[in-house]
Amino acid sequence: MTGSAPCCGNTTGSRPSGQALDARLMADLKRQLGLLDSTMINVGTIIASAIFIVPSVIALTLGGSLPTILVWVVGGAVSLLGALSAAELGAAMPNAGGIYVYLSRAYGPLWGYLYGWSSGVVINPASIAAIALGFATYVGFFVPLDDGGIKAVAVASIVGLTVLNSLGVRLGAITQNVLTLTKLGLVTVLIVVGFVLPGGSVANLAPLWSDAPLGKQIASFGVALVAVLWAYDGWIEITYVGSEVKDPERNMPRSIILSTFIAIALYCLVTASFAYVLSPATMGASSLVASDAAKVTLGAAGAGLVAVAIMTATLGSNNGIVLTAARVPYAMARDGLLPRWLATVHPRFLTPIPSLAVQAVVAIALTLISTDPSWKNTYNHLFTYVVLAEFVFYGMSCGAVIVLRRKEPAMVRPYKAWGYPVTPIVFILFAVWLLYNTAREQPVDVAMSTLLVLAGLPLYWWQRRLTARAAPTP
pLDDT tens for the 474 residues of the chain, in order = 333 333 443 333 334 444 444 444 444 778 889 999 999 999 998 887 777 877 888 888 887 888 888 999 998 988 888 888 988 998 899 888 889 999 999 999 999 999 988 887 677 888 888 889 888 888 888 888 888 898 999 999 999 999 999 999 999 999 999 999 999 999 899 899 889 988 878 887 877 777 777 777 788 887 788 778 878 878 888 888 888 899 988 898 899 889 989 999 999 998 899 889 888 888 888 767 888 888 888 888 888 888 898 899 999 999 999 999 999 999 998 888 888 899 899 988 999 999 999 999 989 988 887 655 554 455 555 555 566 677 788 899 999 999 999 999 999 999 898 889 999 999 998 888 877 877 777 787 677 777 777 888 888 888 777 777 766 655
Handedness of CA 228, 103, 87, 165 (dihedral sign): negative
Q: Tell me, what's the pLDDT at 138?
A: 84
389-422 in b/e form (b: 16+ CB < 10 A) is bbbbbbbbbbbbbbbbbeebeebebbbebeeeee
119 three-state secondary structure: helix
Amino acid 474: pLDDT: 54
Phi/psi of residue 355, nearest 5 degrees: -65, -40
Residue 163 exposure: Cα atoms within 13 Å on the Cβ side: 6
Q: What is residue 7's three-state secondary structure?
A: strand
What the chain holds in terms of domains, given with CATH numbers, is: 32-464 (1.20.1740.10)
Distance between CA atoms of residues 164 and 129, nearest Å: 17
**DSSP 3-state assignment of 351?**
coil
Closest CA to 87 of 418, 321, 364, 311: 418
Q: Residue 16 has what pLDDT?
A: 42
**pLDDT for residue 265:** 92
Contact 351, 33 (CB under 8 A): no
- CA–CA distance, 18 with 92 (Å, rounded to integer): 14
**Confidence at residue 377, expressed as pLDDT on a 0 to 100 scale:** 53
Please answer whether residues 384 and 445 qualify as being in contact, where contact means their C-beta atoms are separated by less than 8 angstroms: yes
Whole-number pLDDT of residue 386: 64
The Cα-based distances of 148 to 33, 34, 73, 365 in angstroms read 38, 40, 39, 14
- Judged by phi (left if over 0) then psi (alpha if -120 to 50, else beta), residue 421 lies in alpha
Give me the residues paired with residue 245 across strands: 33
pLDDT at 422: 92
Q: From the centroid of its chain, how far is CA 7?
A: 23
The sign of the dihedral angle between the CA atoms of 113, 119, 122, 125 is: negative
Give the other-Cβ count within 10 Å of 32's Cβ. Answer: 16
